[in-house]
C-alpha cells in the first residue's frame, strides 16, 4: 500500500507540538509494517537540511506550481525520517517558508499551505507515485481531499486514491478569505456564504476537509466523542455528528525509543520500572539545573507545555499561592506562549525563589529532564485531543495529574477511583478548587512512599507504543479502500 502523508511539522525537522511527534512516529511504524510512505512538509528556514542528509532533487529544480494565475517555483529536497524508510520531501519555497516561524499571522498564511498541498500533488505526479491513501493532518493540509476531487481528478494516477483527515486539534480551522479557494483550484462559490466549504463567512480549510475526506480520525476515542458535542465541537459538531460513521478516535502512541528512561541521552542517570534508583539522580540534577532547593520529601511538580488557554493554566493561577502556602511543593516549569501566563509564572518564581523555577522557551533536552526528574506532572487542560506529555510522564515514573478530558481521560487511571489500578490523578470538573483538591490528593498519596512506587510502576509498565494504533490506522486505510461510509 502507498501512502502520501502530508503535514506542517515533523520531528526532528520542525516542531511546535504533538503533531510533529505523531508525524514522525506513525509513518515510521506504518513503513515497518510494509507500507510505502512518502511524507511531504515545508522546508522552513530553521531546518538544517544538510545535517539530516537531505539532497536536492535536481530533476525537480524550479518546478512551477500553478496557483490561480501565478506560477510559483519550488525546489524539493529529498531525505528520510532518521532511522526509518520513510521518504521525506521538503518543499522549498523561500517566499513562503522563510519566515522565522512555522506558523504566522501573515495575510498569506492560507497561501503558504495551499502551495504545500499543490506541491505534494505535483511531486507525486513527477515521480509517478500513485497513493492508495492521502493522509492529511489538521487544517494546514485539510484541503487535499477537495483538491483531489476538484482539481486533480483528471489524473489517472489518483483514480483509486482515498483520503483520510486526522484532526489533532479542532480549534484551529484555517479560516481564510474565500478568494483563497481559487488558489487551491476549488470552486469559488463553495467557499461563499452557504457553501460547503464556508464557515462563519470564511473559507474554512478544516470544514472543507471534514466534508470531503473519505475517512476522519482524531487522536483519542474520548476526543472523538467530545467533538461531536456542542461544548467541544467548535461550531463543527453538527457536521461531525453527520459524519460520525466515518470518524474514528485512535489514540496516539509515543516513540518509545526517544522517550525511554533506560536509554535517554538527555537525563542524568538511566532508570527503569525494575530499578528506579536513577530517578533520584535525575531529580537532584534537575533541581541543580533549574535552581530549586529540593529535599527528598518535597514533592516536585513538572510542567512542559505551550502556554495556551486550552491548557487550563488559569485554573492553576488562582490557587497557586494557596498551594504554596499549605505544602512544601516545588514547581519546574518549561513553556512559552501566552504573555499573561509567562508573566504569572515569572512572578511566581520571583515570589518563591528556590521553590518555583521557570524556563521560558522551547527546550527539548530540558523537557526530557523535567519528565525524568519530577515526581508529578500537571496537565489541567480544558480540552486535550490526545496529549503526549502525560504518556511520557507515565513512562518516566512521573505521576500525572490531569483533567479528565480527551486523551488524558483515555490514558490516566485515577488512583482513588480505581484503587490498586491507578496510574495518576484526574478530575472531572475543571474548576480551581477541584484542581487544588486533586493536587492535595496526590500529595497525600506521595507521603505513602510504598504505594506511590506502585502507582509509578503501574504507569511505567503501561504500553503506549505505536504498534496497536498503527494497526488501527492501517485498518482505517483498508476500509477506506474497500467501501465508502
> Rounded CA gap, 76 and 121, in Å?
13
> Rounded CA gap, 411 and 406, in Å?
9
Least distance to ligand ADP, CB of residue 190, Å:
30
> Rounded CA gap, 425 and 422, in Å?
8
Residue 363 binds ligand ADP, judged by CB under 6 A: yes
> Total binding residues for ligand ADP by CB under 6 A?
17
> Rounded CA gap, 410 and 413, in Å?
8
Taking residues 408 to 427 in sequence order and writing x for each that binds ligand ADP by CB under 6 A, - otherwise, the string is --------------------
Among 6, 388, 442, 470, binds ligand ADP (CB under 6 A): 388
For residues 132 and 159, is the Cβ–Cβ distance under 8 A?
no
> Rounded CA gap, 235 and 238, in Å?
8
**Residue 72 pairs with which residues in a beta bridge?**
65
Residue 236 binds ligand ADP, judged by CB under 6 A: no
For residues 172 and 308, is the Cβ–Cβ distance under 8 A?
no
Residue 17 binds ligand ADP, judged by CB under 6 A: yes
Residue nearest to ligand ADP (CB): 18
SS3 218: strand
Among 90, 114, 367, 474, binds ligand ADP (CB under 6 A): 367
Residue 260 binds ligand ADP, judged by CB under 6 A: no
Per DSSP, the residues of 227-255 read TTSTTTSTT-HHHHHHTGGGEEE------
Taking residues 21 to 40 in sequence order and writing x for each that binds ligand ADP by CB under 6 A, - otherwise, the string is x-------------------
> If we measure between CA atoms, which residue out of 35, 11, 261 comes closest to residue 135?
35
Which is closer to ligand ADP, CB of 144 or CB of 334? 334
Residue 372 binds ligand ADP, judged by CB under 6 A: no
Cell of 411: 490514558
> Rounded CA gap, 482 and 147, in Å?
22
Which is closer to ligand ADP, CB of 76 or CB of 332? 332
For residues 94 and 100, is the Cβ–Cβ distance under 8 A?
no
**Stretch touching ligand ADP by CB under 6 A, among 79-87, 95-103, 234-242, 362-370:** 362-370
In angstroms, how far is CA 307 from the centroid of its own chain? Answer: 14
Which is closer to ligand ADP, CB of 362 or CB of 440? 362
**Stretch touching ligand ADP by CB under 6 A, among 47-55, 283-291, 361-369, 424-432:** 361-369
Which is closer to ligand ADP, CB of 60 or CB of 356? 356
Taking residues 327 to 346 in sequence order and writing x for each that binds ligand ADP by CB under 6 A, - otherwise, the string is -------xxx----------
Among 84, 220, 389, 456, binds ligand ADP (CB under 6 A): 389
Residue 103 binds ligand ADP, judged by CB under 6 A: no
Element (H, E) at 391: helix 389-395
SS3 216: strand
Least distance to ligand ADP, CB of residue 21, Å:
5
Residue 234 binds ligand ADP, judged by CB under 6 A: no
Residue 221 binds ligand ADP, judged by CB under 6 A: no
**Stretch touching ligand ADP by CB under 6 A, among 13-21, 188-196, 243-251, 410-418:** 13-21
Cell of 2: 502507498
Residue 362 binds ligand ADP, judged by CB under 6 A: yes
Element (H, E) at 135: strand 133-137
Which is closer to ligand ADP, CB of 224 or CB of 334? 334
> Rounded CA gap, 170 and 180, in Å?
21
Q: Percent helix, strand, coil in the chain (nearest 5)?
A: 40, 20, 40
Which is closer to ligand ADP, CB of 135 or CB of 151? 135
Taking residues 288 to 327 in sequence order and writing x for each that binds ligand ADP by CB under 6 A, - otherwise, the string is ----------------xxx---------------------
The DSSP output letter for 63 is E
Residue 188 binds ligand ADP, judged by CB under 6 A: no
Taking residues 441 to 480 in sequence order and writing x for each that binds ligand ADP by CB under 6 A, - otherwise, the string is ----------------------------------------
SS3 193: coil
Residue 155 binds ligand ADP, judged by CB under 6 A: no
Cell of 232: 467541544
SS3 217: strand
Least distance to ligand ADP, CB of residue 293, Å:
23
Count other C-beta atoms under 10 Å from residue 411's C-beta. Answer: 28
Residue 387 binds ligand ADP, judged by CB under 6 A: yes
The contact set with ligand ADP (CB under 6 A) reads 17-18, 21, 304-306, 334-336, 362-364, 367, 386-389
Amino acid at each position: 500500500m502507498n501512502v502520501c502523508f502530508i503535514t506542517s511539522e515533523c520531528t526532528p525537522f520542525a516542531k511546535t507540538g504533538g503533531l510533529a511527534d505523531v508525524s514522525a512516529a506513525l509513518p515510521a511504524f506504518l513503513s515497518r509494517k510494509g507500507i510505502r510512505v512518502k511524507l511531504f512538509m515545508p522546508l522552513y528556514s530553521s531546518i538544517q537540511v544538510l545535517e539530516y542528509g537531505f539532497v536536492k532533487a535536481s530533476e525537480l529544480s524550479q518546478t512551477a506550481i500553478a496557483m490561480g494565475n501565478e506560477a510559483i517555483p519550488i525546489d524539493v529536497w529529498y531525505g528520510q525520517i532518521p532511522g526509518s524508510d520513510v521518504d521525506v520531501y521538503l518543499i522549498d519555497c523561500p517566499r513562503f517558508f522563510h519566515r522565522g516561524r512555522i506558523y504566522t499571522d501573515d495575510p498569506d498564511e492560507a497561501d503558504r499551505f495551499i502551495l504545500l498541498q499543490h506541491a505534494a500533488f505535483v511531486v507525486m505526479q513527477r515521480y509517478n507515485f500513485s497513493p492508495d491513501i492521502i493522509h492529511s493532518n489538521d487544517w494546514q493540509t485539510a484541503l487535499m481531499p477537495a483538491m483531489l476531487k476538484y482539481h486533480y481528478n483528471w489524473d489517472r494516477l489518483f483514480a483509486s486514491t482515498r483520503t483520510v483527515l486526522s484532526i489533532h486539534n479542532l480549534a484551529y480551522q484555517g479560516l481564510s478569505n474565500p478568494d483563497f479557494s481559487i488558489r487551491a483550484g476549488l470552486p469559488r462559490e463553495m467557499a461563499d456564504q452557504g457553501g460547503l466549504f464556508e464557515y462563519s463567512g470564511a473559507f474554512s480549510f478544516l470544514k472543507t476537509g471534514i466534508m470531503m475526506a473519505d475517512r476522519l480520525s482524531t487522536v483519542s476515542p474520548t476526543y472523538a466523542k467530545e467533538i461531536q458535542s456542542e461544548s467541544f465541537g467548535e461550531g463543527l459538531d453538527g457536521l461531525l455528528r453527520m459524519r460520525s460513521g466515518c470518524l474514528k478516535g485512535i489514540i496516539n502512541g509515543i516513540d518509545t525509543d526517544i522517550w525511554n528512561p533506560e536509554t535517554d541521552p538527555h537525563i542524568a542517570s538511566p532508570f527503569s520500572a525494575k530499578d528506579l534508583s536513577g530517578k533520584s539522580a535525575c531529580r537532584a540534577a534537575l533541581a541543580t539545573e533549574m535552581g530549586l532547593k529540593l529535599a527528598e520529601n518535597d514533592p516536585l511538580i513538572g510542567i512542559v507545555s505551550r502556554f495556551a488557554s486550552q491548557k487550563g493554566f488559569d485554573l492553576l493561577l488562582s490557587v497557586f499561592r494557596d498551594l504554596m502556602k499549605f505544602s512544601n511543593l516545588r514547581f519546574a516549569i518549561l513553556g512559552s506562549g501566552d504573555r499573561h501566563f509567562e508573566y504569572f509564572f515569572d512572578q511566581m518564581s520571583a515570589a518563591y525563589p528556590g521553590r518555583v523555577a521557570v524556563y521560558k522557551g522551547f527546550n527539548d533536552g530540558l523537557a526530557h529532564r523535567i519528565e525524568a526528574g519530577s515526581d508529578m506532572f500537571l496537565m489541567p487542560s480544558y480540552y486535550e485531543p490526545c496529549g503526549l506529555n502525560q504518556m511520557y510522564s507515565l513512562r518516566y515514573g512521573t505521576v500525572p495529574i490531569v483533567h479528565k478530558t480527551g486523551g488524558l481521560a483515555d490514558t490516566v487511571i485515577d488512583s482513588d477511583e480505581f484503587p490498586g489500578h491507578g496510574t495518576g490523578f484526574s478530575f472531572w470538573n475543571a474548576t480551581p478548587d477541584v484542581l487544588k483538591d486533586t493536587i492535595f490528593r496526590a500529595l497525600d498519596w506521595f507521603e505513602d512512599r510504598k504505594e506511590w512506587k506502585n502507582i509509578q510502576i503501574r504507569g511505567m509498565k503501561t504500553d503506549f507504543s505505536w504498534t496497536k494504533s498503527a494497526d488501527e490506522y492501517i485498518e482505517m486505510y483498508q476500509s477506506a479502500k474497500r467501501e465508502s461510509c
